[in-house]
């Protein structure tokens, strides 16, 4: 049985990346070294790893652009975070908007260029409501 699963961001920008997730998403450091930082916010975990560390197999060393990754952060404070991102002049790739499938969200990026989708769940349109299961 799996006890936990979490994303690990490979980057040489260890400190900058940690500061980004601490500032905007209230993560706190639970472990810190010069090559790895583990963050936690409630039950959510995120780790940051230097892609050149000796524990990384050669095939995966140095690959850290993150363009194939999208991190979702669900919050009731999407409007507040959007204003903060704008005030801090963070790049916004998708302006804040409501989606018919039941999301109010915007998309930005972290210091590594990893897409960050900040979401508030809202009621879906009637068209999309029927696509949700009762689970």
Residues 99-118 have pLDDT tens digits of 998 999 999 999 988 889 99
Do 7 and 39 belong to one domain? yes
Task: Please enumerate in sequence order all residues whose Cβ is within 8 A of that of 118, keeping only pairs 6 or more positions apart, or say none.
Answer: 73, 75, 78, 81, 82, 85, 105, 106, 107, 108
CATH value at residue 96: 3.30.720.110
Number of domains in the chain: 2
Domain extent for 27: 1-56
Do 75 and 51 belong to one domain? no
Q: What is the DSSP letter of 124?
A: P
Q: Is the pTM of this model over 0.85?
A: no
Domain finish residue from 28, 56, 84: 56
Do 49 and 3 belong to one domain? yes
Residues 10-38 have pLDDT tens digits of 888 999 999 999 999 999 999 999 999 99
């Amino acid at each position: 049985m799996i006890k936990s699963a979490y994303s690990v961001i490979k980057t040489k920008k260890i400190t900058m990346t940690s500061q980004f997730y601490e500032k905007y998403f209230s993560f706190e450091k639970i472990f810190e070294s010069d090559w790895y930082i583990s963050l936690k916010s409630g039950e959510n975990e995120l780790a940051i790893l230097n892609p050149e560390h000796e524990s990384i197999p050669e095939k995966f060393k140095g690959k850290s652009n993150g363009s194939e990754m999208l991190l979702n952060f669900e919050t009731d404070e999407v409007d507040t975070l959007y204003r903060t991102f704008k005030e801090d002049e963070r790049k916004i790739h998708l302006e804040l908007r409501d989606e018919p499938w039941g999301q109010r969200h915007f998309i930005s990026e972290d210091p590594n260029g990893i897409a960050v989708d900040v979401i508030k769940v809202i009621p879906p349109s009637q068209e999309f409501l029927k696509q949700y299961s009762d689970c």
